[in-house]
Structure formats: C-alpha cells, structure tokens
Structure 1
C-alpha cells in the first residue's frame, strides 16, 4: 500500500512541475505580432530566434523575441505565415497565421490616386485620415490589438490552470476508487 501511494505521489509531483508551451500570433494590419512562453506563465527568453516560412517551407525571414516574450514580423504578402520557435530543453512551438487574417491585396503594387489641387478651402482643412480611410482603419486596428493582447494572455493562463484542475480531479477520482476497493476488501476479510 505504501508503495502504491509513493508511486501515485511521484506521478503527481512530475505532473505539477510539467508545463507546456503556449503562444499565439495576431495580425495588426500587415504587422504580425506574436508571443511565446510556457503554461506556468514564464515567457520565452529574450533573444530567442523565430523562423518564419510560407506554406511550402520557403523562408520568409526571422525575428527575435523581446524581454516580454513578444516578437513582431512585417508581412509583405497575403499568404500563410508559419512560425517555428525553439524554446530550449526540447520545447518547440509552431504557430500559423492564416493568409485571410492579413489585409486584402497585401503585396500587390497599388498606384496612389493623383489628387488635383482643390480650390475649395474646406477640402484643404480636412485631416489626412479622411483622405485615406486606410490610415484610420490601421490606427483603430492597432488600438484594439493593444487592448486584446492582455486578454489573450489571460485566456491562455486559464486554459493551463484548467489542465492542472483536470489532473487533480483525476487523481482524486483514482484515490476514491482505491478507497472503495480497500473498503470492500476489508469487508470481505471481516466476514471470514
């Protein structure tokens, strides 16, 4: 019996200390921002290299992780971007940003429309974002992304906690079954 409890506790201790890699990538216009770390809340080490490839594994570039566990990459084409991060000790994180999360027409050469000199003084006083709606859309997208990033981190942390809760619940279930087995065994030996 003592051996069984020792094995069960050893399995519990290794389960508690084990952690998995977590991360995510998000498009903010054509800028791709991502984060990498572990389920216990530790972020990837500063200077960790992130390799970016396309769907056919052709290299698109690389970047490094900053001291907050965040990296950025400027997309030049609307295509799938695959991120490969080696976090050490055999931990590898692979993330994908689908092409449909990047702006339509990214990478296509666009000719800027010619503006004619306007004699109307009201047109000259308009702010520049009214002349180019993409500027304001980009500003709004960046502001929203700045607010959403902490929420994504909290969701990842909650998912990791749920995993620990599931492990503890499973161990409780096993101990309950062992207790029932011991109870019935005791009753059978008492009858004899």
Structure 2
C-alpha cells in the first residue's frame, strides 16, 4: 500500500512541475504587427524561433523570428487577415490570428477620391502621432498581458489539493477492496 501511495504522489507532483501550455498574443503597434510567445509557466520563447506568416488561404506573407524576450515583429504589406504559426519544439505549436480590421488604416482599401496635399500631410502627421501613442501604451500594457496569461494558465492551489484528494480517495478505495479480498481469503 505504501508503494502505491508513494507512486501516486510522485506522479502527481511530477505532472505539475513540468506541465505548461504554449501562450501568446499578437497586436498592432503603429504600422507593425508585434507578437509574443511563451509558456504558461512564465518562460518566454527562445530567440530565433521561426514565425511563419500566411493569409487565410495559406498563401505565404513572409516570416520573421522571435527575439531574446520571445517577441516578434512583422511589417504587413497587405490588408488581409494574418495567421502566425510558431513551432516551439517538443510538440508545442502556437497559432495566432490578427484580423484585417486590426491592421493599420494605411493598408485599408480606399474608396474616397484622391486627397489634397494639405489633407495628406495632416493625415500623415496624425498617423505618426497615433503610432507614438500606440507604442507608448503597448509598452505599458505588454507586462500586464503577460501576467494575465500566466494567471489564466497557472494551476491554482485548489486545483492541486483537489487532484491530490482525488488520488488519495482512489488509493483508499483500492485499499478497501484489497482488505476485503484479504478477509475473504482468510475466511
């Protein structure tokens, strides 16, 4: 019985120590798409992970790589939904999607007549200011996004205690059945 209990406890603790999921996010900052990839235990993807970028039909839009912080950047050239695929090894694959509507307005198809030079200059100035604001906000929000993902993915103490209780309950049932069998054999 002691061996069974010890084996069950070892299996429980080893599964929680190494368990993690792949997590990530993708968003626009100015005229660039930025994304990040990592694991639910807080580790970020290593540098040099290839990021394949395709459209909805699977046609290649390009590729990029993660940096040392698990972040990747991609400059879109077409107003289409972008799919990002990362292979983090050991069966860990991450697929992210950014809808075309979230891309920079400059890529959107235009229906309006040609603008005047003054309007164009004002639009460029506003776009540059918007890009700076988006970059500043993104720097502040990025750590919050990462922390939120980690909290969502982490196994809580209640989950761990519940799992241990479940295993101990099963061990108790097994011990009860074993005891009954032994009583029948001795009778």
What's the TM-score once normalised by structure 2's chain length? 0.78
Does residue 93 in structure 1 map to residue 94 in structure 2?
yes
Residues 112, 48 of structure 1: alpha-carbon distance in 2 compared, 3 angstrom cutoff: farther
SS of 2:42's equivalent in the other structure is: coil
Q: Measure how far apart 1:108 and its partner are.
A: 3.6
Structure 1: 5+ residue stretches without partners:
117-127
Report what 2:157 is aligned to.
165
**Retained in 1: the 8 A contact 2:8–2:167?**
no
What's the TM-score once normalised by structure 1's chain length? 0.76
User: Partners in 1 of 2:130 and 2:54 — Cα distance?
Assistant: 28
User: Partners in 2 of 1:142 and 1:181 — Cα distance?
Assistant: 58
Residues 15, 101 of structure 1: alpha-carbon distance in 2 compared, 3 angstrom cutoff: same
Alignment of 1:92-171 (within 5 A): 92-104=93-105, 106-108=107-109, 113-115=116-118, 132-161=125-154, 163-165=155-157, 167-171=159-163
**How much is the aligned-residue C-alpha RMSD, in angstroms?**
3.2
Alignment length (residue pairs): 178
Q: Measure how far apart 1:134 and its partner are.
A: 2.1
User: Partners in 2 of 1:158 and 1:172 — Cα distance?
Assistant: 21
Which structure exhibits the higher relative contact order, with contacts defined as CA atoms closer than 8 Å and separated by 6 or more residues?
2
Structure 2: 5+ residue stretches without partners:
none
Q: Measure how far apart 1:130 and its partner are.
A: 8.6
Report what 2:166 is aligned to.
174
**Retained in 1: the 8 A contact 2:34–2:73?**
yes
Q: Measure how far apart 1:7 and its partner are.
A: 3.3
Pick which of 85-94 and 3-12 moved more. Answer: 3-12
Does residue 76 in structure 1 map to residue 77 in structure 2?
yes
User: Partners in 1 of 2:22 and 2:136 — Cα distance?
Assistant: 27
**Retained in 1: the 8 A contact 2:31–2:131?**
no
**Retained in 2: the 8 A contact 1:21–1:39?**
yes
Report what 1:8 is aligned to.
8
